[in-house]
Copies of this chain bind each other. A is one copy, B any other.
Amino acid sequence: MRTLARDISQAARDRPGETITVSGWVHRIRDMGGITFVVLRDRSGMAQIVFSEPSLLKNSEASGEKPAAEGENGLTLESVVTVSGIPALNEKAPGGAELRAASLVVVSRAMPELPYPVNGDIAKTGLETILDNRLLSVRNPKIRAIFNVQAVIIEAFSACLRSRDFTEIKTSKLVWGGTEGGTELFTVEYFDRKVCLAQSPQFYKEAMVASGMERVFEVAPAYRAEKHDTPRHLNEYVSLDVEMGFIESEKDLIDLERELLARIFEEVARKNAADLALWKASVPDAAAVAKAPVIAYEDAVKTANEWANGQAAKASGQAAGKAAGRKTERIFDINPEAERFLCDWSAAEYGTDLVFVNEFPRRYRPFYAYPSDANRTMSFDALFRGLEITTGGRRQHSYEAFVEVLPRFGLKLENMQNYAALLRYGCPPHGGFAIGCERLTARILGLANVKEASLFPRDRKRVAP
């Protein structure tokens, strides 16, 4: 019977003097001359193991058929071992207990030279090194914490939607062309023809809403063949997609996203306290999500400019002479800089680092965006801690309006037959949005680059491991 690291102190209290067995990875070795302290890592956490004499550190069982070759003695970091011994309370040890080893079995010996220092400070290695050595870097507890949080995000997202009558769907990622007719698509050689990797499940989500399912969600990869390499982009990402029928406007969707984010933050706070602590991070509470402002695009641009100028004036006031001559560039769009300004503004004005921007101009949104008037659409973005994490909106559901709008976007009806079929046979008012899973993860933990929040990120240069 194996005992997990987190249960050692319980064992020490409940069954003092009884031998227990733990298994895991050798995270750290401290030789104190005679006594050796080994920190063992397993899925539940860390355990301190005390080897009171050097002979106990010898493999007490042959792991293979051959005797150990020269140089293969000695415990190595990251080896997988099984240790039996007596648990003892020790308030200085992680979890308040340690294991006094009586025997050691090396289950899988790690090569002595690790290409990445698993137990080191990740701030001391660059992102490229971390990603080049992903199989080892993900063993670092702080890095693994990122993916513990991500798992809870996905769980909470799904659970919240199921409780609101949403059905999970799984749709094809091999499509005949872009949903939005865009050019940023990867091509797949599919038998004797070429197809594309889906950049969004939107068409399929809409189809399932129109089928009568009404409320659907999907958690799946999405692909963008963007050539530029930025801290906010991934060529393959996990899209948390939602689509909902019988809505009136994007405000229904903003309400739903508030509920979703509040639930996600609540679950992460509850289940990932240790992970958040490693990153010195915290999540907004429900009140902070509730008070996130909704600001119309035009006002948002204005506010971002005012905020930028106010900040610049403040800086020049503080730093006197030197910065006084600096002039802030005018912001014309909700670009990455404006996203940061708006979140700072919201934090200062509303005490929340979440902002919804709605009423985007028609020229900035795709053909299917539902117009609220001649120039604006029922669409929105969600910005969180300086980064856009969501784009969404109500979609066009009228076939006649769809046919009318196509030429304005340079699209031809004969190339849009699938979309036409969606609207010709009864389609309710509907809309949806997608949350970028890696972006949300990154912003919760304060990661500088969204690639850090992807287990095996893909960019223009990276397709391995």
Contacts and interface: CB of A to CB of B under 8 A. Distances in A.
A398 B173 contact: no
Contacts of A150: 170
Nearest to A214: B43
Contacts of A23: 246, 428
Given A426-B110, A428-B23, A144 B211 contact: yes
Contact of A215 (B41, B43, B147): B43
A212 B197 CA distance: 32
Nearest to A24: B212
A169 B190 contact: no
Nearest to A237: B170
A329 B64 CA distance: 44
Size category, A interface:
35 or more
Nearest to A418: B465
Nearest to A457: B172
A111 interface: yes
A429 interface: yes
B111 A424 contact: yes
Contacts of A188: 186-189, 197
Interface string A97-137: 00000000001111100100000000000000000001110
27 contacts: A23-B428, A43-B215, A80-B426, A80-B427, A108-B426, A108-B429, A111-B425, A135-B207, A135-B418, A135-B422, A136-B421, A138-B208, A138-B211, A139-B211, A150-B170, A155-B158, A155-B162, A170-B219, A172-B458, A176-B463, A176-B464, A186-B188, A188-B189, A190-B463, A204-B455, A208-B455, A418-B464
